[in-house]
Structure 1
Amino acid sequence: MKRRLYPGRDYRRAQNIDELREMARRRLPNFSFEYVEGGADDEVTLRRNRSVFESITLQPRTLRAVGARDLRRDFLGVESKLPFMIGPTGFNGLLTHQGDLHLAEAAAQAGIPFVLSNASTVSIEDIAAVEGVRAWMQIYLYRTREHVAKLVERVSRLGLEAIMVTTDSAIFGNREWDRRNYVRPLKLDWRNRLDTALHPEWMWDVLVPHGVPRFKNMGDLLPPGQDSVKGAASALAAELDPTLAWADIAWLRDIWKGKLIVKGLMHPADAEIALKYGVDGLVLSNHGGRQLDGAVSAMDTLPEVVQRARGHMQVFLDGGFRRGSDIAKALLLGADGVSIGRAGLYGLAAGKGPGASHAIDILRVELDRTVGLLGCSGLDELRPELIHDPLWRARAQQALG
């Protein structure tokens, strides 16, 4: 009998993240799935984000008494039950109604942080009201700094723990496959309009009776009546600021007294600069392969950044994490934790809130199994000597001293 993934819609039967991905692909109209899935240009970086994990092989120990395993990690001085967070992803209202709220609830149930995107269709206030949530806020430093200052004030008033500022989108990436779905900006071509009509379950969830999802945290940045996902596109594009520089990080550090995380750095030299600006953490990221095509993966640059930041800033990363073993490899190279993007969205699209929780649980179980099979009883026992490849092992050893 030929192997095949489960062809149905019951997210609970998904054995792994790739199976959730296929369920999401079937449930979503093409244009919505493509927005989640696609990368920039020839998608070289998108593929590298996955292929890098195959280049790191492991050499486990045995007879190590690993009956009880501890997956907890300290994130910014507070315990996280797992060494990963739900990272910021925009436009989630196009996957399911109140998508960000579902993700926040799933993160709270799992005891991990949830990072709300600046481009969310759920308000910060609604996220902050989720019971037990550990919420962080992602922002862009738009040209209209007054809007950014008001957003920071809002975040402070709600008592959110951290702001994560994204720095790699001052110029918008070239996402050709996404654009091919439209005859003009956000006007679907006839094939995609027909395809959308063939997804009535999605339409009744997302569009009826709620209408086109609206941005809930843009406030005075958008013209009156232009806060929908469709209407805001041109206004947001005009707000991207290619003059963004370290002086802007200093400005943000001055007005925000909580934890500050800089996302999008990929060069060790930039990590050294970040130390001068009172940054509490970094997220190494190539924006899921959606910005500069041909860029290295975050895993490629992780050891050198850890070497410079260790003891001064926490280092997180994202990009291509689909297995618990992927997370373990990042920890072996010195990461404090990882940020999950598409993996959580596949679960969300396949099964709403319970589907997102299932995605988290899949990664938890896989990571727990990987740690045990490596011969470790906790994350603190993950050491570079468990990496078989001489080059990767040497880089990890140099990074961790």
Structure 2
Amino acid sequence: MTTRAWVLHPDIQTNRDRKDPQPALEEAMALAHALPGLEVVGGEVVRLPKAHPGQLFGSGKLEELRQRLTDQEIGLVLIDGPVSPVQQRNLEKAWKTKLLDRTGLILEIFSDRARTREGVLQVEMAALSYQRTRLVRAWTHLERQRGGLGFVGGPGETQIEADRRAIDEQLTRLRRQLAKVVKTRELHRAARAKVPFPIIALVGYTNAGKSTLFNRLTGADVMAKDMLFATLDPTMRAVDLPSGRRVILSDTVGFISSLPTQLVAAFRATLEEVLAADLILHVRDISHDETEAQDADVRRILSDLGVDENTRVIEVWNKVDLLAEEEQLALIRQAERREDVVVVSALTGLGVEALLAEAEHTLDEVRMRKELILSFSSGKQRAWLYDQGVVEAEQQTDDGFVVTVNWTQGQARQFHEL
């Protein structure tokens, strides 16, 4: 059974983070199309002088929308923005239909796409955190109270408090399970660290073409579709650069503007692959009308994640095949004048060889030579350096060893964490 859905983008004039409404509506509709079982009937921008605290829309607009939703037999309204629990309850009552805000919709998509144990746990945790905020204090009368014995203190707990406590207990269980999964991932990462292969991470706005590029570079068969969040769980493969040098390529979940805070926190462990990378390939859909805004969103999220500003980034201007020939040539000339920019088409293969060559050149550049002073008791660190194959020279002194290493920034971070 498909559910008929209608998308609304509230264009609130007083909102300081207000976006260009038409592209924002188009992205929200693309999000709706990404969720199976929905028939997206239509969508519209609703201009509001300010948000009504109780029902988001004014009474006139509320009635106008109710009539439209009834005429179209809409079963689900998707609102592109935050909706408070009180607003959600009042709107569902007024329109007699189910309602999801942007966070709820993204959670639904992630829940549908998660495949790995870690992904499923992270989505479930994010969904419970979101659900906890949706518990509107609707039942506070005595019939909804569960009796206490009287000597514990207070008349018992209301149903909402019981629900909240049940969610908190479930969150605690999930955190324990996720900690085990994350520990396994850390062990895998530590095992990879012993093999001196640099890590290259693909990042970018959702639907920028990361998975198509990943498949092109690795020969893998990762799901790559023209839809938002086609990839959710991270995938890693070995890739040989033109010189024969081997690297590990990591495909990650796509970023999006206004990513729910619950998801940023839940997926931090997954995105730690980006933090461990020696090189980041920032894949951009250069044909998109909002490519500059998407670029700013990705950079902001990378900064929030704590990506070191010293980590080298190559901008990959993808989907150039969707542009006219003159625009392609202009972009190629523009990229030639800039460092760390490569124009490609992951679909046709245009520019992929140049991208691999640029990646190799950048990795060679980012290796740093450094002198380390190690005491005789630093046997673990010294053994790790030799395992990594980064030691160029070593001299013994009265106090220990002076070791000259030639390593990547990622290896330097790993060494300081030992």
Q: TM-score normalized by structure 1?
A: 0.22
Q: TM-score normalized by structure 2?
A: 0.22
Q: Greater relative contact order (Cα 8 A, min sep 6): structure 1 or 2?
A: 1
Structure ID, larger Rg? 2
User: Hey, which of these two has a bigger chunk of strand by percent?
Assistant: 2
